[in-house]
Amino acid sequence: MVLRKRVLIAVGGGIAAYKICEVVSTLFKIGVEIRVILTRSAQQFITPLTLATLSRHPAYTDENFWQPTHSRPLHIDLGEWADLIVIAPLTANTLAKLAYAMADNLLTNTVLASTCPVLLAPAMNTDMWEQQAVQRNWQQLLTDNRFYGISTASGLLACDRVGAGRMAEPQEIVTYVQSLLYTAGKRDLVDKRVLISAGGTREYLDPVRFIGNPSTGKMGLALAQAALHRGASVTLVHGPASWEVPLGVQAIPIVSAHQMRATMVQYLPNADIIVMSAAVADVKPREYSKQKLAKKSLPQALPLEPVPDIIAELARLKQPHQRLVGFAAQTGDIVTPALEKLHSKNLDAIVANPIDELNSGFGSDNNQAIFLDKQGQKIEIRPCSKLQMAHHIFDFLVNK
């Protein structure tokens, strides 16, 4: 997805600097070319040698900046070289300098000498993060279209305080980097509200047994990440899942198809784009036992009844300005049943994806599909990561 892209990672002085090792290592493994800058205070937490080893290139410090060892100024070379700059951890000090375009070290000079997108991952003590001046600087910086921010998470901090201020986890930073390298920083979903369903539903027979499916919700998660990174306001309605919800996404966990239907209908009126990627059950046990059934009490034939057809109801309720996209997980011929669903459910588009192909479908990090819409468009999405497939889908929707 991001081969031969160039990312400059600037490390600020904070205990969260240790997380950058995983970011650098992961990006290198997927083919990204890395350069690293460390501020003077960052070197108190992590060494240039560590990051040079992981990036396979010497890491730069202010000592390199102030010494004329290059044919051109170092900050100019680095600023022109980068496709993306990541600043993590972003400290209150560096945040203030960037907000007021100050340049007194290699990091800040390089940012001012560049034109590429800049991804910011702040990390600091809760009281520091919540200071009015810090929040003012943060909001001011994000009004500049070059800057993208991953808000802080809440949890136990290194100072033993529990609250906001934790830097985003490495995988979340890596995913955001992948998105920005794919989109080159475009925000074509700004002011759009995207409603996504994800994962499988569970229809319980008793407290421990249920009818379900293998869906993990990874495709819906990727759709939420892609939409968020392109500027949308995202609501994610998801079944039981093992992954963390991205910072900035409104997540609503559900279990059954009935709960998903109620939630999707509730949030439908405020959505511009609705993507129904969840694997919703078709039937449920007719009767539910509040107590666990003994093995000998299990019915020989399980009476079933249909669950609500959520996407058909959403199609009936949606307004002309809203776009409704469905998914069709199929084996064998994936196009014919997907087209039937597209027209019978009155959808705007549908994504037909095979679940009997290697490294595709349920549980996989990758996917492939055929995108179909009611205008007759048919576009193949070749095997790729689910994040990249999510971006392809939004490309099709935005460019219509």
| R_g of the chain, CA atoms, integer Å | 24
3-state class (DSSP) for residue 102: coil
CA angle 21, 90, 61 (to 5 degrees): 65
Name the DSSP letter for residue 151.
Answer: P
Per the structure block, which two tokens stand in for 310? 């959520």
Active site residue 21: no
Gap between the Cα atoms of 119 and 168, Å rounded: 12
Per the structure block, which two tokens stand in for 282? 């078709």
Sheet holding 273-276, edge to edge: 250-253, 233-238, 193-198, 273-276, 323-330, 349-354, 366-373, 378-385
Nearest one of 124, 286, 310 to 204, comparing CA atoms: 286
Where are the extended beta strands (E) located within the chain? 6-11, 33-38, 84-90, 118-122, 147-149, 153-156, 162-166, 193-198, 203-206, 209-211, 233-238, 250-253, 273-276, 283-285, 304-306, 323-330, 349-354, 366-373, 378-385
Q: Determine the residue type at 45.
A: F
Nearest one of 392, 307, 302 to 349, comparing CA atoms: 392
β-bridge mates for residue 33, sequence order: 6
User: For residue 48, how far is the Cα from the chain centroid?
Assistant: 30
* HSE-up (13 A, CA, CB side) for residue 76: 5
- 169, 140 in Cβ contact below 8 A? no
Nearest one of 86, 105, 104 to 167, comparing CA atoms: 86
Q: Residue 324: CB partners within 8 Å, gap ≥ 6?
A: 274, 276, 311, 314, 315, 318, 347, 348, 349
Active site residue: 21, 116, 159, 384, which one? Answer: 159
- 324, 347 in Cβ contact below 8 A? yes
Residues with active-site annotation = 159
